[in-house]
Structure 1
Amino acid sequence: MISLTDSAVNAAKSAISASALPAGGLRIAVEAGGCAEFKYTMGLAAQAEPDDTVIECDGLNVFVDNSSSQHLVGTTIDFVVALESSGFTFDNPNAKSSCSCGKSFC
């Protein structure tokens, strides 16, 4: 369903270890809005919700709710470090187009 590069897994694990609150994994979701029709959201989560799919990536739990999973099939998430900006990127084969920020799609 979703795959994370080693760089993305390491960035998420670093965020979890630095978090003041307990985190059992990384939550990835798709919501309406953003520059295009949908936007990606990510954050740390204490545990999976009852309707989540849990994906294990090299010891990292990734939580995806069922309504978001249909938009994320085949998506690869990377963490890129660059001079002007660093962050997570999404290579989503389901996106017809993406905005320039890379955080929203349709």
Structure 2
Amino acid sequence: MINLTDSALNAVRSAISTAPEPVDGLRIMVEAGGCAGLKYNMGLVKEVDPDDTVIERDGVKVFVDMKSHEFLAGTTVDFVVALEGSGFTFDNPNAKSSCGCGKSFG
């Protein structure tokens, strides 16, 4: 299961409410790439795919495809506001290594 902090939930809600078209939720994926071998990919989507795992918390839906699920199990997603910039962070217990940007892991 993926956990979203309150800060992440608020950021996703804000993105959904200001999207130019209606969306159903947030997709979180893991893809090959990045400097550590795998990278996180997130985006708002209009509808769920039939094979997705759907996680709902406080009215926010998160969609995870079957291939990404094993890499994301137990991950906590946060939204951090810092001097260096704002963005989502991932605390992933499955990551054996990560890069300095925090968007890639191995």
Fold shared, TM-score > 0.5 on shorter chain? yes
User: Which residue of the partner structure matches residue 30 of structure 1?
Assistant: 30
SS of structure 2 residue aligned to 1:22: coil
What amino acid is the match of 1:59?
G
Query: Where do 5+ consecutive residues of structure 1 fail to align?
Result: none
Corresponding residue number in structure 2 for 1:59: 59
Identity, in percent, stands at 70
- Return the alpha-carbon distance in structure 2 between the equivalents of residues 84 and 91 of structure 1: 19
Aligned counterpart, 2:16: 16
- Tell me the C-alpha RMSD between the 2 structures: 0.5
Deviation at 1:66, TM superposition (A): 0.5
May I ask how many residue pairs the two structures share in their alignment?
106
TM-superposed deviation, 1:47: 1.1
TM-score, with structure 1 as normaliser:
0.98
> 1:65 & 1:22 partners in 2: Cα distance?
21
TM-score, length of structure 2 as denominator length? 0.98
- Distance in 2, Cα, partners of 1:34 & 1:23: 27
Q: Deviations over 1:76-96 (max 9, x none)?
A: 000000111110000000000
Superposed CA offset, 1:50-99 (max 9, x none): 11000001110000000000000100000000111110000000000100
Amino acid at match of 1:92: N
- List, as ranges, runs of 4+ consecutive aligned residues in structure 1 with deviation greater than 4 Å: none
- What letter matches 2:99 in structure 1? C
For 2:43 and 2:18, the matched residues in 1 are separated by 13
Summarize deviations over 1:3-29 as a string: whole Å, max 9, x none: 000000000000000000211100000
Structure 1 distance, partners of 2:8, 2:53, is 19
- Aligned ranges 1:16-95 → 2 under 5 Å: 16-95=16-95
